[in-house]
Structure 1
Amino acid sequence: MIRARTVTVHTLDQGAVTVPEPIWCTGHADLPTGYRDDIHHSGPEKVVDYEGQAVLSAELVEYPFGMRPIPPSVYVDILIPSTTLDSAALEGLAAILTEQAAELRRLALRLAVLRAGGEW
């Protein structure tokens, strides 16, 4: 896996921890992370809106020091609030979900390439 640089993350339990940072990581805040186990990398988040509300978000993540380390993976959060829809709104939601299913498939392919040693 290609690593662009190392960064120092300040933790409450281990102090300063130097971490190799993947090139896809969007960075780390300067505030204490909490515990070393909490250190994680995250890539740009993709958020999908429907009628002004987020319904799906996906982002590349990695937890190298977790109790069970998580290799690069895609974290997905689906938030569809309860609602009653007419046929036009239901078609609109179905269209967005269809588009997002295709995007999740693209993310799955990119993740497979990344885990095989390629670039994100």
Structure 2
Amino acid sequence: MSAEQPRMVMLPTSDHGDVILPEPSWCAGHAHHDPESLRADLIHAGPTVECAFLGVPLFCAEIVQSPFAAVDRSLLGGQVAGVSVDPLGKTLDPVQLYSLAAVFDGYADRLRDLADRLARVLGGEGR
């Protein structure tokens, strides 16, 4: 058995010319790459996971990695893969992403409570 070779991608940059780098298996490609990008701004991004209601996007998230980022800054992305969450504008690690999911779980419970309350109001209670 031989190990599968990583996919390689060549992306033009304004400061380093054509940059060849390994593309992670989770990367959705670089269809929207701007050749005027700096090498430090190159980014791998996975498929977007969207939460929408009535056709309006509320949140979206995707795995991202910036292989040439100068500095890994907490919650801003970097050389280590994370999950970028919009409109939060932060890149989260697995523990932070589980914490966000827990916040959503709690909020969903509060929305269900509010729906129950509204149903009682519409049913004539509290007039």
TM-score, length of structure 2 as denominator length: 0.57
SS at match of 2:81: strand
Selected match of 1:98 from 96, 101, 105: 105
What does the per-residue CA deviation read over 1:76-106, in whole Å, with 9 as the maximum and x for residues that have no partner? Answer: 1147xxxxxxxxxxxxxxxxx43998xxxxx
Query: Aligned runs of 1:10-29 on 2, under 5 Å?
Result: 10-29=12-31
CA RMSD of aligned residues (A): 2.7
Report how far residue 51 of structure 1 moved: 2.1
Q: 1:43 to 1:33 in 2, by over 3 A?
A: farther
Q: Which residue of 2 aligns with 1:4?
A: 6
Report how far residue 4 of structure 1 moved: 2.7
Q: How many equivalent pairs are there?
A: 83
Distance 2:34 2:87 in 1: 28
Query: Aligned runs of 1:1-120 on 2, under 5 Å?
Result: 4-29=6-31, 31-69=34-72, 70=78, 71-78=80-87, 97-98=104-105
Q: 1:44 to 1:63 in 2, by over 3 A?
A: same
TM-score, length of structure 1 as denominator length: 0.60
* Larger Rg computed on CA atoms: 2
Which structure has greater strand proportion? 1
SS at match of 2:28: coil
What does the per-residue CA deviation read over 1:19-42, in whole Å, with 9 as the maximum and x for residues that have no partner? Answer: 111011011136405100110100
Distance 1:72 1:100 in 2: 27
* Amino acid in structure 1 at the alignment position of 2:22: P
The unaligned stretches of length 5 or more in structure 1 are 80-96, 102-120
Report how far residue 3 of structure 1 moved: 6.4
The higher-RCO structure (CA 8 Å, 6+ apart) is 1
Distance 2:106 2:54 in 1: 15
